Structure 1
Amino acid sequence: MDQHTDSGQDPVETTSGNHAGHLVQGVSMEQNGYLLQEVAAPGTIGEAGELSLTITGPDGAPVTEFDTSHEKDAHLIVVRTDGTGYRHVHPVLDEAGRWSLPWQWEAAGTYRVYADVVPAGAGKNLTLTRTVDVAGAFTPSTPEVTVTDEVDGFQVSVEGDLSAGSASDLTISVTRDGQPVTTLEPYLGAYGHLVALRAGDLAYLHVHPEGAEPVAGEVSGPDVEFATTAPTPGRYYLYFDFQVDGQVHTAQFTLDTTGAADTRTSADATSEGHGEH
């Protein structure tokens, strides 16, 4: 399976001060000399406008060439800091290095914007992030643990434990009207995409299903299996994108980790290599 945790950064520390040895992304606007510049977006609810951003490279100039990753040159994840309002979209790049797409906010609050990209020549996936404030009154949500969701007439559930500091398996199942859905279509090179955000700092984990990449025209279901590792104990928001009949749907879950965090030293973790999670 392919998990976007190969950041080239040093291992992060757990809350107890020990190194987990598992790399997290989506906690900084800068990585390996690449910088996410200020994100421009409408400032109020219902205001039609544009969401745009620019990424500069180690030389300070806007990056204008990116490698394709999962069939797109950029994946933009937007979510409110309480875990609600999730969107996974794909902006368009102009010749000056500016990514943009039409945008309108549905609710007030502070939102985290993640740019998940591979700059040409960088050799690594980067996840850069900034926050955007949307004016208006709002009451933050406090998501409770939930392993089921209903979206657009589909019933979606997740089984398995999310382990802290070690790999664990999650199986997501899709049904409709009590019947298993066996017509899951390839979407961005997979039968489903799973994004996990750590509650508190919204550290970003992007995981993909186990098994071979699907062949165009083939369908699958009702189960999609993932293997992932939570870097630290705690609560995580999970978002599962899947496609049926050409339409993409997103189910959301909230899970708490099981088990204890990995207490290896940073030297131990580094000796295993930064890209094998």
Structure 2
Amino acid sequence: MSKRFRTTRHALAAAAATAALSLTLSACGSGTNSDHTSAMPGMDHSASPSPSGSSDDMASMPGMGPASTGNGLADTKDGYRMTSTAATLPAGQTADYRFTVTGPDGKPVTAFAVDQTQRMHFYAIRSDLTGFQHLHPTMARNGTWTAPLAALQPGTWRLYASFTPDNGVGKGKDFVLSRTVKVPGTAMPSPLPKASDTATVDGYSVTVKGEPMAGMAHQLTATVAKDGKPVTDLQPYLDTYAHLTAFHQDNLAFAHLHPTTKVNGDHGGPTLNFHAEFAQSGDWRLFLQFQTGGKLHTAALTLHVS
């Protein structure tokens, strides 16, 4: 083999190696449109978020966002819709509010899973966070629900339906949908009480402790006392010793705070623990419901979330 031939062969080999290296670097480069780059978690810095970055997916990650129920401020979510023909309700008297939940196929949903002993939890609250009601409506065979509301004061009210479908594409997923109604008359709004960790109701004192932060999971602890003594005779209510619901001052966003204290007969208390996730910061109005001697008590207090 001549010296000139050996030199030519070495030059061709070097050129081929350089070309191969260039192709490799191009495939692993930093271009934002590279399939390889976008497929690597945490490496896609393009302006358009990927589907996996949606709020619903983040919500499924503990401490990363609001619960799967969302904030409850829409009448439609993931194809499920809360419908009603009622735009107004009478003032100062009991009234039945009728509504239907339709599925992605547009048909009324009639199969609902049981959650805390009920297939549907229904809430009503006025725009100034007064008049709280927590009801368990009844459903007709055609899927129409009827919620028997106590007398409402004039103003704008938001009505929430909390449920879990037992079939279809939403089976097993928690939903909170809501609609508003007007109650005619002159509204007399009440100012929101200042944030406090203590509330009293029917002779009971309730103290709530915790330092919740928006978008993160935290524990809240409620302690019930009467005449300065710890209460230990709480009775089960909805398969728990206390039911806790919260609404945001500015937009009435909904939060259902799940109890973690196990039920053991009619001697619950004095301490009750809750898993709390608040979607946004600000003041929230909390409603703690507990039962003693067959009577339901509802304590209300304002909690500030950082």
What is the aligned partner in structure 1 of residue 66 from structure 2? 22
Please state how far the C-alpha of 1:46 moved relative to its aligned partner: 2.1
Question: How has the CA–CA distance of structure 1 residues 249 and 41 changed in structure 2, closer, same or farther, with 3 Å as cutoff?
Answer: farther
CA contact (8 A) 2:199 2:206 kept: yes
Answering whether residue 179 of structure 2 is matched by residue 179 of structure 1, we say no
Aligned position for 1:137: 186
Return the alpha-carbon distance in structure 1 between the equivalents of residues 105 and 257 of structure 2: 31
One of 206, 221, 225 as aligned partner of 2:269: 221
Read off the aligned partner of 1:158 and give its amino acid letter: V
Q: Comparing both structures, which one devotes a greater share of its residues to helix?
A: 2
Identity %: 37
1:167 matched to 2:211? The reply is: no
Question: Which residue matches 1:123?
Answer: 172
Give the Cα separation in 2 of the matches to 1:246 and 1:153: 15
Structure 2 CA distance for partners of 1:11 and 1:84, relative to 1, 3 Å: same
Rounded Cα–Cα distance in structure 1 between residues aligned with 2:149 and 2:244: 23
Aligned pair in 2 of structure 1 residues 154, 22: CA closer, same or farther (>3 Å)? Answer: same
TM-score (norm 1): 0.81
Shift, 1:43, TM fit: 2.5
Give the equivalent residue in structure 2 for 1:234. Answer: 282
Instruction: Tell me, in whole angstroms, the C-alpha distance in 2 between the residues paired with 1:128 and 1:118.
Output: 11
**SS of the residue 2:279 aligns to:** coil
Residue 124 (structure 2) aligned to one of 60, 70, 78: 78
Alignment partner, residue 114 of structure 1 = 160
Tell me: higher relative CO, structure 1 or 2? Use CA pairs within 8 A at least 6 residues apart. 1
233, 243, 249: which is aligned to 2:291?
A: 243
Kindly indicate whether residue 59 of structure 2 is the aligned counterpart of residue 11 of structure 1: no
Structure 2 distance, partners of 1:110, 1:200, is 14
Return the offset for 1:197.
1.5
**RMSD value, Cα:** 2.0
Distance 2:87 2:227 in 1: 39
Paired with 2:207 and 2:221, the residues of 1 have a C-alpha distance of 8
Larger Rg: 2
User: After TM superposition, what 4+ stretches of structure 1 lie above 4 angstroms from structure 2?
Assistant: none
* 2:111 aligns with one of 53, 65, 73: 65
Secondary structure at the aligned position of 2:177 is classed as strand
TM-score computed with the length of structure 2 as normaliser: 0.73
* Structure 1 residues not aligned, in runs of 5+: 1-8, 13-19, 259-277
Which residue in the other structure is 1:38 paired with?
Answer: 84
Structure 2: which 5+ residue stretches go unaligned?
A: 1-52, 57-63
